Amino acid sequence: MLVDIGVNLSSKRFNADVEDVLQRAQDAGVSQLVLTGTSVAESEAVLALCEQHSRQFPNMLYATCGIHPHDAESINAESMDRLRALAGHQLVVAVGETGLDFNRNLSSPKAQELAFEAQLELAVELNMPLFMHERDASRRQLEILSSYRDQFSQGVIHCFTGDKKTLFSYLDMDLHIGITGWVCDERRGLELQSIVHNIPLERLMIETDAPYLLPRNMPTPPKGKRNEPAFLEYVLSGIAAVRQETPEQIAAATSATANAFFKFGP
C-alpha cells in the first residue's frame, strides 16, 4: 500500500470527478490521502471532502489546515481562531501548508514570516505535526525553525526541491522530507535525483501534489496533463531508480512512516 501525503483535491480541476479519482487511487493501492489546506477556505473545503466521502472510502481521507505563504497577507486573529477550530477535527492531522516562498513573493516576506510563526505556535499549542512549504527561502526558514524546533513534535518539508546543503540542514533538524514527481523530471529534477538517496528511509514520505507535478516517467501521460493520486506509483518508481531499496521496500517504509507521522485513525 502507498500513502500520498499531499493532494490538492479541492482544486477545481477535480470538481467533476472526485469519486472517480478516489476510486482510481484505491485501485492503484493508495490507502490514505492527506488533502492539503492552503487557506482557511481551502482547509474547510478539504475537510468537507473528507467528510463527504468518508462512507464510500472509510479511513482513506485526512486533511491539513493552514495558510500557504502565498496567502500570508490574509492571516489575522480571526483566521487563526478558525484554523484552531479546524485543527480540532479528528480528520485533521497536521498544521499547514505553511512556510516561506521567496520565489514568487505573492505575499511580502515579512507577512510570510509572521504567518509561519503563528502557525508554528499553533502546532506547538496543539501538539500537532507541521506540513511545510519552502521555495527559495531555506536560510530564513531554517532560522525560524531553529527557534521552535525543540517545541513542536514533528515536521515535514513537503515537495522538497532544494539542494544537498538544504536537505542536510532539514535532516539535521530531525525533519521529514516529502518527495513528489519532481524527482521524475529529467529537465529540472536532476539535482534532486542525485541527493534523494541521502534521505534516511524512516524520514522519507511520498506525494503527488496533484493536480500538479505530473510524473514525467509515465509511459502514457493523460491528455489533460492532470496529476492524480493513482499516479503515485510513478513517484515511487522514480525514487527507487536512484536508491538501493526496491519499490516494495520503499512503499512499505514510507507508508509506515506516514502512518506514524500523521497518526491516521478510524
Per-residue pLDDT tens digits for 211-225: 999 999 999 999 999
pLDDT in tens, 133-185: 999 999 999 999 999 999 999 999 999 999 999 999 999 999 999 999 999 99
pLDDT at 258 over 80: yes
In the chain, the percentage of residues whose pLDDT exceeds 90 is 98
Three-state SS string over the chain comes to CEEEEEECCCCHHHCCCHHHHHHHHHHCCEEEEEECCCCHHHHHHHHHHHHHCCCCCCCCEEEEECCCHHHHHHCCHHHHHHHHHHHCCCCEEEEEEEEEECCCCCCCHHHHHHHHHHHHHHHHHHCCCEEEEEECCHHHHHHHHHHHCCCCCCEEECCCCCCHHHHHHHHHCCCEEEECHHHHCCCCCHHHHHHHHHCCHHHEEECCCECCCCCCCCCCCCCCCCCCHHHHHHHHHHHHCCCCCCHHHHHHHHHHHHHHHHCCCC
Residue 184: predicted pLDDT: 97
Instruction: Give pLDDT, residue 186.
Output: 94
Q: For the segment 6-25, what is each residue's pLDDT rounded down to a tens digit?
A: 999 999 999 999 999 999 99
Mean pLDDT of the chain, nearest integer: 97
Q: pTM of the entire structure? A: 0.97
pLDDT single digits (tens) 44-56? 999 999 999 999 9
What confidence score (pLDDT) does residue 103 get?
94
pLDDT digits (tens, 9 = 90+) for 171-197: 999 999 999 999 999 999 999 999 999
For residue 265, what pLDDT is reported? 76
For residue 4, pLDDT beyond 90: yes
Q: What structural domains does the chain harbor?
A: 2-262 (3.20.20.140)
The pLDDT value recorded for residue 266 is 62
